[in-house]
Amino acid sequence: MTKTVLIVEDETDILHLIEWHLKAEGYTVLTARSGIKGLDQATEQCPDLIVLDLMLPGMDGLEICKALKRNPKTENIPIIMLTAKGEEVDRIVGLELGADDYMVKPFSPRELTLRVRAILRRFDKEMPEGAKVQYKDLSIDLDSYRVWIENTEITLTVTEFNLLLELLQNRGRVRTRDQLLDRVWGYQFDGYARTVDTHIRRLRQKLGEEYAEAIETVRGIGYRFKE
Ligand code: CA
């Protein structure tokens, strides 16, 4: 099945460039030139991924990101943020906005396409049928990418899901931020270990106290799921 990517970008040249490259890769592409239109499209069409520019007329990328994360219908759509050099990257990765990745302009459209593919591929991992990971009352279904605590389903983003799985499958062992970036994001991006912290924080919030505590912070190194 073809995946749909929504591009929200007001600069026509960049929009067309990304659109061309993603279409060449076989993706269905939706476009929006303003924040409001982007948000409308995202809510109506529920794309598989959103490429979101930070600086947009009207409603900017950060506001859209927040709005998407507040809406249960769109909260789990992965987002790649586009920023211009000198914009406050810290705000994107540090403020729990939940973007999965970001790229600084000018970027290589090929690199962006690779990242889109890396994120979407996480959905498509081949798993043995019926494979499950269990920890106390927490169960993870590897087929359907769903997570339950007792009988309550917990909705996670793909990134959060993969983080949890990576930690849980290596229970008792410390995973460094670099290892997690490599395993969960599929590549290392220039030292943005804090992205890992942001996603761990969101994951803990969603899991609730008991299981949040099971993910231990190993100061200066990374994270470990309790033995
Ligand atoms: Ca812009």
Q: Which has the minimum average pLDDT: 22-26, 116-120, 135-139?
A: 116-120
Question: How many whole angstroms from 7 Cα to the centroid of ligand 1?
Answer: 11
Question: How many whole angstroms from 81 Cα to the centroid of ligand 1?
Answer: 11
Indicate whether 190 pLDDT > 60. no
Question: How many whole angstroms from 55 Cα to the centroid of ligand 1?
Answer: 4
Q: Which CATH architecture fits 132-225?
A: Orthogonal Bundle (1.10)
Question: How many whole angstroms from 200 Cα to the centroid of ligand 1?
Answer: 29
What confidence tens digit (pLDDT) does each residue in 143-155 have? 778 899 998 889 8
| Superfamily designation of domain 4-123 | Response regulator (3.40.50.2300)
Residues 6+ apart with CB under 8 A from 177: 193, 196, 197, 221, 222, 223
Question: How many whole angstroms from 27 Cα to the centroid of ligand 1?
Answer: 22
Question: How many whole angstroms from 105 Cα to the centroid of ligand 1?
Answer: 10
Phi-psi region of 76 (alpha: psi -120 to 50; beta: other; left: phi over 0): alpha
Indicate whether 129 pLDDT > 80. no
Residue 48 gets which letter from DSSP? S
Which residues line ion ligand 1, judged by CB < 5 Å?
A: 10, 53, 55
Q: Directed axis angle between helix 109-124 and helix 12-24, to 10°?
A: 50
Question: How many whole angstroms from 10 Cα to the centroid of ligand 1?
Answer: 5
Q: What distance in Å separates the CA atoms of residue 127 and residue 6, rounded to the nearest whole number?
A: 27
What confidence tens digit (pLDDT) does each residue in 37-51 have? 999 999 999 999 999
Question: How many whole angstroms from 11 Cα to the centroid of ligand 1?
Answer: 6
What confidence tens digit (pLDDT) does each residue in 169-178 have? 889 999 988 8
Strand-strand pairing, 138-141 and 146-149: antiparallel
User: Is the pLDDT higher at 19 or at 151?
Assistant: 19
Question: How many whole angstroms from 31 Cα to the centroid of ligand 1?
Answer: 13
Question: How many whole angstroms from 46 Cα to the centroid of ligand 1?
Answer: 22
Instruction: Report yes or no: 108 and 176 within 8 Å, Cβ to Cβ.
Output: no
Strand-strand pairing, 174-176 and 222-225: antiparallel
Indicate whether 19 pLDDT > 90. yes
Question: How many whole angstroms from 88 Cα to the centroid of ligand 1?
Answer: 14
Structure token pair of residue 43: 């809510």
Question: How many whole angstroms from 91 Cα to the centroid of ligand 1?
Answer: 17
Domain regions of the chain by residue span: 4-123, 132-225
Question: How many whole angstroms from 14 Cα to the centroid of ligand 1?
Answer: 9
Question: How many whole angstroms from 15 Cα to the centroid of ligand 1?
Answer: 10
For the chain, what is the mean pLDDT? 85
